[in-house]
Structure 1
Amino acid sequence: MKLCLMFLLLLLMERNGLCQHEDICVKSVINSCSDCIRSGPYCVWCKQLNFTKAGEQEATRCDTRAQLRARGCRMDEITSPQNNVDVLDEKPLSVSLTSDQQPVQLSPQKISLRLRPGLSTTFKLSFKRVQGYPVDLYYLMDLSYSMKDDLEHVKDLGQDLFEALNNITAHAQIGFGAFVDKTVLPYTNTNENKLQKPCDDNNQQCQAAFGYRHVLSMTAKKEEFKRKVTEQLISGNLDSPEGSLDAVMQAAVCGDRIGWRDNSTRLIVLTTDAGFHMAGDGKLAGILEPNDGRCYMENGLYTRSLTMDYPSVGQVATQLEKNNIQPIFAVTEEVETVYKQLSKMIPKSEVGVLSLDSKNVVQLIKGAYNRLSSKVTVTHDNLPDHVRVFYTPKCEHSGPAGDVTGVCDNVRAGQEIAFDVTVTADSCMRDKAFTIRPLGIKDTLTVTLSTTCECDCKDPQDNSHPHCKNKGGVRCGICRCNEGFVGQFCECSIGEQDEHALRASCQRHNGTECEGRGDCVCGRCQCHSTESGSSYHGDFCQCDDEHCEKYQNTLCGGNGKCNCGKCDCVPDYEGSACQCRVSDTGCRTPNNTVCSGRGACRCSRCQCIEGYQPPLCQECPSCPNPCQAKLDCIECLGFESGVFKQNCSVACKKVIDHEMVDEFSISSKECLQKDTAGCWILFKLEQMVGEDHYKAEILRHRDCPAPPNITAIIGGSIASVALIGILLLMLIKLLIYMKDLKEYQKFENEKKQSKWAEADNPLFQNATTTVANPTFTGE
């Protein structure tokens, strides 16, 4: 049972792997099986006869394995070249150092790869440090005047240095060299007396100014080292930076004079208290010739110091790596930062801080050597174009996997470590070679690389096959016609067919034949090449692969292929120019849904369906009020009444009961609406993920109004009519009164404005006699 389960698990893993890798086959111009396998690592070819339909292009034979199987191609008819790894030389790793043979620290030593373009292969590379591996140490010292105290201490350094190296290996050698700077202005005082004695102190023993001098070749004799160093005198120059890079370059490239051994750990210990001149600084002295990285040493002196510029940091790094030399910069605290920056640009280098009189140099060298030797960095040289190498360390203290180097740290002597080396060739090539090696170690792995860009379909080599009307042979399922015959099945004889009808079938929309980009052969377009060397393609040669959208001035952003004006992106990229990594991080809502289920995530932005708005498709201003829109569904779901009573489950499938779903809601609101029966319904709507998707909950049973009171309505109506009549009469009376009042006021105003004349009446005559009554008292 366990075996069966394991077998099923392996099948699922294999199937998942195929789905992850074989779902992409980007095709361009496909005229043969060879064109197909060059299109991509997961493109395969179906050589099955009659696989294509009538009039269908043979390019449809090229697709992913899954697609071809789905369209009916048998497994045994699918052609797909695979990678092949052949180990040519694999000597076992040395257990210990022996005198009769060279130690082997890297295995294998030679390997041959035959790869399919774009399809990676991985092999194992093993490494083991040999105990007691020989060490060559070249002590390169700054002899400018500021290093006077340090020189006195170095003269007594030989015994301590040899003892320290002997603790590491029984096969140690030491050499010595010195440098100051170019003996020209403005670096050195060119006065004749100053050139002979550049030191400021007249009582000081001082040697003549010089650039770089090789003093002692590699030796195992500590007495000779002490004697040669004791003979050295201090010198001097004008400016602070020294000619350090000149000295390092010559010590690296003049291997026969320095005495570097073929199989040894090579160290250069550079001691100085000043910075360094680099390429371009020589122009200040009129020296314009660039450094060529070659050896110019005669009688121990660098002869081109006055005519050749300083080397660049890149040149020095290249020569140190090429010659397997590891530098240790023993510098004073004032220039530590400068040399740490230099160390970042030189692989396998270390920086240590000297004391004021260099007394700690031995401990510094021991510590730097231990760090260098315990760190194994694997890299490659002479990598051919269109080839990629990726390293995955397999050790306890590994650095990050990378396509430039693989790093294992804290590796002990005798400890075996390994690296998985993944190689990918992106184009067709034959018999290319490159080397893989640990930095600072001579052992190398030589990799010979070729690619399989042709199909081996094992076809019979006859030129008369029934499938091709006996007028040609079959090659990988396609007819290769004999001379004088053309067509998919060699059915056309040149010069015997209806030329007009054949040419008409090569015209799209009665336009130009093959869009002017190809030739019409037997009713089918054979497309020409574009100006850049690729080919037009399509039924009418209407497509090319050079006019797609660019991103950062690169076609399809370098993350896809241009196919008929449209970018076909690799699996991890998307966008019109393949400019975006496939990711939905920017499209996720707080409840971890993508675009709220109402749009698609493109380039980390939501493309919402109509009505919904970015950034997360949560709001829809143009959508109808959900309380009103969902009222009919609430009525039919909750009370089995209303307009949707007969087909409630169909019409209201996007409004669901709150107990039947366990999803995240986006928003919620309470609604109070009147249904078709005039009843009030209080319900809650929660907007769910997805378009027009709600969860409903009725909060209170519907509230329906009481039936009307007829008697009250009739009595109320009569009373209302009577009241209205009285009010109308009162209104008329009020209007009449107001009118009369207005007329009276008008009369009064006119009366006040009347004027009466005072005059005697001519007809009136006064009395002629007046009689007074004597008895009238006036009361």
Structure 2
Amino acid sequence: MSRCIVFLLISAEFISLQFASTVPVCTKTKANTCQECIQSGQHCSWCKQLDFTKAGESDSVRCDTNSSLVRLGCDPSNIIDPGSEILFEDPQPLNEKVQLTPKTIKLLLRPGKTGEFTVKFRRAEGYPVDLYYLMDLSYSMFDDLENVKKLGNQLLSALNGITKSAQIGFGSFVDKTVLPFVSTHPEQLKHPCTDKSVPCQPPFSFKHILRLTDDGNNFIKQVGLQQISGNLDSPEGGLDAMMQVAVCGDKIGWRNVTRLLVYATDDGFHIAGDGKLAAILTPNNGACHLEENMYKKSNEFDYPSVGQLAQKLSENNIQVVFAVTSNMVKTYQDLSNLIPKSVVGKLSSDSSNVVQLITEAYKNLSSEVILDHGITPDNLDIVYDSYCSNGVNKNTLRGLCSNVKINEEITFKVKVTAKQCLTNQQNFSIRALGLSDDLKVEVTTACDCKCNDALNPKACNSSGTVVCGICSCKPGFLGKNCECEAGSKTSQQLEQNCKKDNTSAVCSGVGECLCGQCICNTIDDPAKKIYGPHCECDNFSCEMFEGKVCAGEGTCSCGTCICNPGFDGSACQCKRSTDRCTSEGSICSGRGDCECNTCKCRGGYITPYCKVCPGCPSACPRFGPCVECYIMQEGKNTGNCTSICLKARLTQVEEVTEEQACKEKDTDNCWMRYYLTEENGVDNYSIRYTLKRECPEAPNIFAIVGGTIGGVIAIGLVCLAIWKVVTTIADRKEYQRFQKEMQKVKWDKGENPIFTTATTTVQNPNFDGE
């Protein structure tokens, strides 16, 4: 049973928390006008009702949530709560030329409140297409170029099978013409290809060869004039070329139709920062630098970053088809993930399948619809709900539907939220990436009140008009109801006179400010009253004891009890007595106050009489210099010791034997003994000391030196004896081992086979044998 009760309580608490998190809250701080109120938060509303505020109340109470204002007595018809709305919408019928509607939207947004509108898209059949073929002309693409030279009419035929109007163009790229990307040797600059028998053109960064055209034969002619080139490293300068194709629209010849950029290569690409290898430090500025159809400033600007390139492609509605060989598919799939509306196709080794690849890539790109708003102001949040044939995606940063069929209509709900009031109108565009259709959105914010107050001349004492429930006084009149003549003060200054400080309410919230003076509210009980220049005092809000204000033994004055004679305490709850505070004739030992017959000690001393201070440091070291001064003067104080002894009283005795006596060293390294007694009061000590000191004896130099020398000699003799014993034992062991080896020797007594007798013998005639 108890477990069930606990479970129910926890469930109730959880439900209440969930409910509380969804209840609107007006987080206002100070809002004295309707404009300030509605700018405080999305849930803040303003009551314009004339008689809404009570005497002494600030106009800030008019600002609260709708439910709170109604509960406080405001008629719902008098509540100002502007929301977000659509001011203007320009819908257009969807057809083969218009795929996105509406064309224009004007929004009025309340900060914090979301404004919503619907965007419709229908994929048109046969929408015009511009295709620009951008080809890598490094040496490894030799066989690919030969096949591309024949593709003009095939590409146009394939595109015309998809659309009613198609154009194709051509450009090529290699890399920056500086080391270490391209060899700068004069011979290599003329013929960079490794095979000298192959026709080869000088290296270049990007060359725009053919402007977009519907003439397939011209495509074949211009591409047929191209030759392969070469460079040193594997990555190419393809991002440089893509940037120029994207931003040089007039020279490329882009129309306001579907734009496809086919990027054909068999290798990787350089990115921003690689230019530092060639001392190119200036970042790419994303501008068009084509001169005579050549990118001649390639060696001045670094490669663009992937993000920078993605932004420019998106701004110019260009969809990219990466036609790459199998070894580069993974690399360009990673790049495609960073570039919206791009796909990767696997190119055969000689580019023979490029027409089929482009056709399939176009179908994939055109069947995917992405709504994007580009870069918008920081104070606007934009999210999309996408209603697609295969489901709904809500609250995404882009609208997205895949596998959209021709003539299929899909819907997007766009939600725009202003974080704060906008000083000026903000504009942004929503586009279907890769298409020319866009939607212009204009945003303004509702940060002003339109109260439309009824005319009521008598409401402001005929000296002003009502604006959102508040009197706007004529010149020369002030006050809440224009009841005061202005004089030299403004209405705000008069109201400030009725405030105790900047943070308090007018007349402390219990009075009315009339012409700069507080008129305090009256209470039904004649024994109770509110008073003070700011109505900050009363005679009934003091501390209570046993249900009585000031225990019935005092009077309440502005929050403080004034006790009758014989009573004490914050609530006059104690009879005045010091019986339990007195010890040895002193109240709280002079180190505390007696309140309610109990010591309130100061400085770490504890009850009952403030005699003991457990946390206080020992006072012995503090009086060491004082005692030493008296000892040095043999107990005679000539006045030199007074300054360091403070208020201590010193008494000389023969001996100090107490176990608790202080023992401190003086400047001669001698021990002094004295007994310290703390008397009643603060810093009041008495000291009993003796002139006797315990000084250490002087060291015996001869004994120390002699002992040191003797010790060294003794250690030496011991070391010699140990050495002798060790060597003797070692010699004996070696001799015994020698004896054992001698016993094992077997001497051969046979004749030496190489011995021969002497051929001549000489005898000394003088040798007598001895």
Q: The TM-score by the shorter chain falls in which range?
A: 0.5 to 0.7
Distance 1:400 1:234 in 2: 48
Residues 638-717 of structure 1: pairs in structure 2 closer than 5 A: none
SS of match in other structure, 2:394: coil
TM-score with structure 2 setting the length: 0.60
Q: Structure 1 residue 157: deviation in Å?
A: 2.4
SS of match in other structure, 1:168: coil
Determine whether 1:140 maps to 2:131: no
- For residue 467 of structure 1, what is the aligned residue in structure 2? 459
- For residue 404 of structure 1, what is the aligned residue in structure 2? 397
- For residue 368 of structure 1, what is the aligned residue in structure 2? 361
Determine whether 1:414 maps to 2:413: no
Distance 1:446 1:511 in 2: 49
- Call closer, same or farther: CA 1:345–1:146 in 2, change over 3 Å: same
- For residue 279 of structure 2, what is the aligned residue in structure 1? 286
Instruction: Confirm or deny: 8 A CA contact 1:147 1:273 kept in the other structure.
Output: yes
Distance 2:413 2:121 in 1: 12
- Call closer, same or farther: CA 1:492–1:359 in 2, change over 3 Å: same
SS of match in other structure, 1:73: coil
Distance 2:141 2:169 in 1: 19
Distance 1:467 1:373 in 2: 66
Q: Structure 1 residue 505: deviation in Å?
A: 4.5
Distance 2:130 2:64 in 1: 58
- Call closer, same or farther: CA 1:69–1:145 in 2, change over 3 Å: same
Determine whether 1:233 maps to 2:227: yes
Distance 1:467 1:145 in 2: 91
Determine whether 1:323 maps to 2:345: no
Instruction: Confirm or deny: 8 A CA contact 2:495 2:506 kept in the other structure.
Output: no
Distance 1:82 1:402 in 2: 21
SS of match in other structure, 1:236: coil
Determine whether 1:183 maps to 2:183: no
Distance 1:166 1:109 in 2: 29
Distance 1:238 1:496 in 2: 85
- For residue 77 of structure 1, what is the aligned residue in structure 2? 78
Determine whether 1:481 maps to 2:473: yes
Residues 746-757 of structure 1: pairs in structure 2 closer than 5 A: none
Q: Structure 1 residue 182: deviation in Å?
A: 0.6
Distance 2:179 2:170 in 1: 27
Instruction: Confirm or deny: 8 A CA contact 1:437 1:443 kept in the other structure.
Output: yes
Q: Structure 1 residue 215: deviation in Å?
A: 1.1
Residues 111-190 of structure 1: pairs in structure 2 closer than 5 A: 111-190=105-184
Determine whether 1:303 maps to 2:304: no
Instruction: Confirm or deny: 8 A CA contact 1:503 1:523 kept in the other structure.
Output: no
Instruction: Confirm or deny: 8 A CA contact 2:260 2:320 kept in the other structure.
Output: yes
Distance 1:87 1:458 in 2: 23
Distance 2:88 2:326 in 1: 50
Count of residue pairs brought into register by the alignment: 496
Residues 753-764 of structure 1: pairs in structure 2 closer than 5 A: none
Distance 1:374 1:39 in 2: 45
Q: Deviations over 1:65-85 (max 9, x none)?
A: 111111111121112223331
Residues 38-117 of structure 1: pairs in structure 2 closer than 5 A: 38-94=39-95, 96=96, 103-117=97-111
- Paired residue type of 2:60: A
Q: Structure 1 residue 159: deviation in Å?
A: 3.6
Residue ranges of structure 2 left out of the alignment (5+ in a row): 1-18, 519-533, 535-770
Instruction: Choose which of 269, 275, 281 in structure 2 pairs with 1:276.
Output: 269
Distance 1:342 1:107 in 2: 32
Distance 1:399 1:202 in 2: 60
Distance 1:81 1:513 in 2: 29
Q: Structure 1 residue 492: deviation in Å?
A: 4.1
Residues 515-530 of structure 1: pairs in structure 2 closer than 5 A: 522=516
Q: Structure 1 residue 49: deviation in Å?
A: 1.3
SS of match in other structure, 1:92: coil
- For residue 673 of structure 1, what is the aligned residue in structure 2? none
- Call closer, same or farther: CA 1:269–1:523 in 2, change over 3 Å: farther
- Paired residue type of 1:346: I
Q: Deviations over 1:173-222 (max 9, x none)?
A: 11111000011111000011100100011111111111111111112122
SS of match in other structure, 1:371: helix
Instruction: Confirm or deny: 8 A CA contact 2:174 2:237 kept in the other structure.
Output: yes
Q: Structure 1 residue 285: deviation in Å?
A: 1.1
Q: What fraction of aligned residue pairs are identical, expressed as a percent?
A: 49
- Call closer, same or farther: CA 1:521–1:388 in 2, change over 3 Å: farther
Instruction: Confirm or deny: 8 A CA contact 1:399 1:409 kept in the other structure.
Output: no
- Call closer, same or farther: CA 1:501–1:396 in 2, change over 3 Å: closer
Distance 1:511 1:382 in 2: 45
Distance 2:393 2:344 in 1: 23
Distance 1:511 1:456 in 2: 30
- For residue 609 of structure 1, what is the aligned residue in structure 2? none
Instruction: Confirm or deny: 8 A CA contact 1:468 1:474 kept in the other structure.
Output: yes
Instruction: Confirm or deny: 8 A CA contact 1:118 1:427 kept in the other structure.
Output: yes
Instruction: Confirm or deny: 8 A CA contact 2:57 2:506 kept in the other structure.
Output: no
- Paired residue type of 1:480: S
Instruction: Confirm or deny: 8 A CA contact 1:399 1:407 kept in the other structure.
Output: no
Instruction: Confirm or deny: 8 A CA contact 1:216 1:225 kept in the other structure.
Output: yes
Q: Deviations over 1:259-290 (max 9, x none)?
A: 1112x110111011111112221121122222
Distance 1:390 1:501 in 2: 49
Q: Deviations over 1:355-385 (max 9, x none)?
A: 2222222222122111110000001135233
SS of match in other structure, 2:176: coil
- Call closer, same or farther: CA 1:76–1:21 in 2, change over 3 Å: farther
- For residue 434 of structure 2, what is the aligned residue in structure 1? 440
Distance 1:504 1:297 in 2: 73
SS of match in other structure, 1:148: helix
Instruction: Confirm or deny: 8 A CA contact 2:498 2:516 kept in the other structure.
Output: no
Q: Deviations over 1:13-47 (max 9, x none)?
A: xxxxx998662211122011111111222221111
- Call closer, same or farther: CA 1:501–1:261 in 2, change over 3 Å: closer
- Paired residue type of 2:413: D
Distance 1:404 1:198 in 2: 48
Residues 173-212 of structure 1: pairs in structure 2 closer than 5 A: 173-212=167-206
Distance 1:167 1:481 in 2: 76
Distance 2:151 2:344 in 1: 20
Instruction: Choose which of 244, 250, 253 in structure 2 pairs with 1:256.
Output: 250
Q: Structure 1 residue 433: deviation in Å?
A: 1.5
- Paired residue type of 2:429: T
- Paired residue type of 1:237: N
- For residue 388 of structure 2, what is the aligned residue in structure 1? 395
Instruction: Confirm or deny: 8 A CA contact 1:22 1:66 kept in the other structure.
Output: no
- Paired residue type of 1:227: K
Distance 2:265 2:110 in 1: 52
- Call closer, same or farther: CA 1:509–1:384 in 2, change over 3 Å: closer
TM-score with structure 1 setting the length: 0.60
Instruction: Confirm or deny: 8 A CA contact 1:486 1:522 kept in the other structure.
Output: no
- For residue 379 of structure 2, what is the aligned residue in structure 1? 386
- Call closer, same or farther: CA 1:371–1:492 in 2, change over 3 Å: same
RMSD: 3.1
- Call closer, same or farther: CA 1:398–1:329 in 2, change over 3 Å: farther
- Call closer, same or farther: CA 1:490–1:286 in 2, change over 3 Å: same
Instruction: Confirm or deny: 8 A CA contact 2:494 2:516 kept in the other structure.
Output: no
